[in-house]
């Protein structure tokens, strides 16, 4: 039951399954990645789809609620790593793919999986029942829901999903009046280091939002994104069409910070935001400048949060170096169901041991927070 569609048919299938009217009727308004335009940009640019191993699978509960997951034949672009699980399956000659994964593609951000105007346990449970019917009937090894919101956890626990813990680093805005006010809450040495890192001679940085954003910004951001992909020998999940579409259709949810030298753009960083949170996503540079990464990816985001009274800045996956710059280690959650009884037991034990490691890491890393006691 691993569906194979050509691109044209798949796009029609996707549009028929989720009309914009139905999507907008159900989705919460407080997350940019649940904006129809974001997912539509992924589809229209062919960044996701059967050809890339992200075949949409949508559960509808009449007109009250949606649940979006993807049929996947790989584990790329997920940020909650299960490559070890897949390797163990392969070792024993058991297929791990296809599997079902529910998340915003290529986006390690906490988002609501049950698309309901207001979260309702019973409606969420009904949607998950329908999803699990597909899972049980299909030849899927497993079902995964990544980056859960806190209220969703009990739904999955009561449907026999294992809850896995992971860790990210988030900045919390404590009603700071300015960036200097934020620094005044740090230990003197840490604040001094940040001031030093922000002192970048000859580099001019501008922030762009709303109608200030142009197609030229989108094209430059794409080139910066590709530069990072090349430097890290990573995968370019996204193409230029995706960046052009979101810069055109999501202007009120995008922050683009661009660095220039002698009026020539040399680096850029892309963020998304709603009325509560800022989400750091992509960055790149065509010229190495000391500390420019910290400025564009962290300090510009912190400054934007403070000025716009946003509560939280999720700066993306990994990075212990974020701690010294005001980000706190926090838990994230995912839910997993494994069909094979033997692997279910082994993975359950792994998850429980991993939770102990996460708790230990958060406790130890918290000792290095830069804030005054």
Q: Is the peptide bond before 98 cis (omega within 30 degrees of 0)?
A: yes
Q: What is the dihedral of CA 54, 60, 63, 64, to 10 degrees?
A: -100
Q: How does strand 99-102 pair with strand 142-146? A: parallel
Domain 7-167+330-368 and domain 174-310, same fold? Reply is yes
Q: How far apart are CA 256 and CA 247, in angstroms?
A: 9
Model pLDDT, residue 63:
62
Model pLDDT, residue 27:
83
Asked if CATH classification 3.40.630 holds for the domain at 7-167+330-368, the reply, yes or no, is yes
Model pLDDT, residue 17:
54
pLDDT in tens, 168-191: 999 999 999 999 999 999 999 999
Rg (CA), the chain: 21
**The CATH number of the domain covering residues in 174-310:** 3.40.630.30
CA within 13 Å, CB half, 15: 10
As a whole number, mean pLDDT of residues 34-46 equals 93
pLDDT in tens, 280-333: 999 999 999 999 999 999 999 999 999 999 999 998 777 899 999 999 999 999
Return the residue matching tokens 């949508």: 58
Cβ proximity of 53 and 73 under 8 Å: yes
Sequence-separated (6 or more) residues with CB below 8 Å from residue 122: none
pTM over 0.85: yes
Q: Give the residue extent of every domain in the chain.
A: 7-167+330-368, 174-310
């Amino acid at each position: 039951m691993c569906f194979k569609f050509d691109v044209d048919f798949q796009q029609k299938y996707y549009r028929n399954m989720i009309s914009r009217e139905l999507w907008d009727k159900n989705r919460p308004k407080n997350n940019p990645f649940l904006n129809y335009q974001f997912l539509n940009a992924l589809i229209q640019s062919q960044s996701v789809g059967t050809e890339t191993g992200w075949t949409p699978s949508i559960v509808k509960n009449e007109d009250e609620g949606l649940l979006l997951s993807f049929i996947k034949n790989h584990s790329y672009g997920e940020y909650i790593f299960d490559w070890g699980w897949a390797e163990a399956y392969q070792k024993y000659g058991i297929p791990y793919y296809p599997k079902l994964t529910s998340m915003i593609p290529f986006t390690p951000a906490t988002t609501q999986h049950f698309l309901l105007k207001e979260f309702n346990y019973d409606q969420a449970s009904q949607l998950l029942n329908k999803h699990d019917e597909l899972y049980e009937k299909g030849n899927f090894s497993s079902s995964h829901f990544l980056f859960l919101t806190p209220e969703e956890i009990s739904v999955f626990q009561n449907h026999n999903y294992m809850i896995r813990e992971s860790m990210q680093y988030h900045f919390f805005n404590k009603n700071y009046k300015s960036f200097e006010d934020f620094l005044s809450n740090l230990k003197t040495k840490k604040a001094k280091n940040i001031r030093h890192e922000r002192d970048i001679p000859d580099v001019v940085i501008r922030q762009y939002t709303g109608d200030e954003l142009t197609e030229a910004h989108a094209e430059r951001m794409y080139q910066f994104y590709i530069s990072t992909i090349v430097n890290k020998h990573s995968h370019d999940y996204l193409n230029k069409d995706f960046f052009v579409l979101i810069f055109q259709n999501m202007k009120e949810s995008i922050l683009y910070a661009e660095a220039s030298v002698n009026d020539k753009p040399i680096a850029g960083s892309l963020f998304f935001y709603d009325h509560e949170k800022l989400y750091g996503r992509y960055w790149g540079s065509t010229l190495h400048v000391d500390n420019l990464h910290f400025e564009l990816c962290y300090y510009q985001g912190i400054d934007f949060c403070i000025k716009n009274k946003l509560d939280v800045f999720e700066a993306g996956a990994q990075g212990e170096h974020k701690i010294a710059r005001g980000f706190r280690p926090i838990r994230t959650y995912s839910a997993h169901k494994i069909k094979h009884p033997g692997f279910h037991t082994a993975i359950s034990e792994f998850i429980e041991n991993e939770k102990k490691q996460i708790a230990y890491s958060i406790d130890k890393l918290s000792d290095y927070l830069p804030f005054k006691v």
